[in-house]
Structure 1
Amino acid sequence: MLSIAFFAAALVGQAPAPTAADLAPAFGNTLVSTYPDGRTARTWLQPGGRYEGRGRRGGRSSGTWRIRDGQVCFSQRRPIPVPGAFCTPIVSGGVGTSWAARAVTGEPIRVTLVAGR
């Protein structure tokens, strides 16, 4: 299962379409998603369009990300390729930014950008 259900939140106002530059604060830091049961998943984005993740059950995943229609879309390649992509709105902000989102499973999650890896 994809462990990269991050960034999902409503974009506020009439801001210009998000770009990869809006993801820059995530590079070198960690996106932590907290699920209703208290477990967490972690995702690490790389500027070149790759990501690594550790799901709430401890499984590792990796793949690619890209910007499409103002959203960030994740395609899992490991441990098994998953057809299609999971896309979610981009949320701007630096370390400490936190927002409500939905996981790829549809569950509500809380995502926080934390310093470091």
Structure 2
Amino acid sequence: MRFAAPLVLALALAASSASAAPPIEAAFGNTVVSTFPDGKTQHIWLDSDGGYTAAGRRGQPSSGRWSLKADEICLRQLRPFPAPIVYCTPVPKDAATVAWTSKALNGQPVRLQLVRGRFPQ
């Protein structure tokens, strides 16, 4: 699925305090990199206004809106087409967590990492 790429990357939001809804400020101005078992990567860039842009495994661009629900981040793709689902996934609570393993929308394992700076936009 074309919209699965940016949705998975949202897992990489590092939190900076232990509140009811995890803060995501650590991701603003930085890049969330998702690496799949075949070595291909995806990138997502979150904006403080609730928007995101992304580049999938083949470099295809997408964008949409993100929101927080308790300890999960939920993404809704709007471009290149409105996705028929909203994807929600847990957000790490530990500010020291900058890399971890999770699963993509299709169940495939991914390694997620929050990297300083916005690249390769």
User: Deviation at 1:104?
Assistant: 1.4
2:75 is equivalent to residue 74 of structure 1: yes
How does the TM-score come out when normalised to structure 2?
0.82
Q: What's the CA shift string for 1:69-105, capped at 9, x where partnerless?
A: 32000000000110121101011436x7101111112
| Superimposed CA distance per residue, residues 11-38 of structure 1 (whole angstroms, 9 cap, x where no aligned partner) | xxxx54333xx21000000000000100
In structure 1, distance between residues paired with 2:107 and 2:85? 16
**Deviation per residue, 1:19-70 (Å, 9 max, x gap):** 3xx2100000000000010000000000111000000111110000001132
**What TM-score does the superposition give when structure 1 sets the normalisation length?**
0.85
Segment drifting more, 79-88 vs 37-46: 79-88
Q: Is the 8 A contact 1:18 1:90 kept in 2?
A: no
Q: Aligned partners of 2:106, 2:53: CA distance in 1, in Å?
A: 19
User: What's the C-alpha RMSD, in Å, of the aligned pairs?
Assistant: 1.7
User: Which amino acid counterpart does residue 70 of structure 1 have in structure 2?
Assistant: D
1:27 aligns with 2:28: yes
2:57 equivalent in structure 1: 56
Could you list the runs of 4 or more consecutive aligned residues of structure 1 that deviate by over 3 angstroms after TM superposition? none
Match of 2:15 in 1: none
Aligned to 1:47: 48
What corresponds to 1:85 in structure 2?
A: 86
In the alignment, what sits opposite 1:18?
21
Q: Distance in 2 between matches of 1:104 and 1:46?
A: 22
Identity among equivalent pairs (%):
42
Q: Secondary structure at the match of 1:25?
A: helix
Aligned residue pairs, count: 108
The residue type equivalent to 1:47 in the other structure is S
Residue 21 of structure 2 aligns to which amino acid in structure 1? P
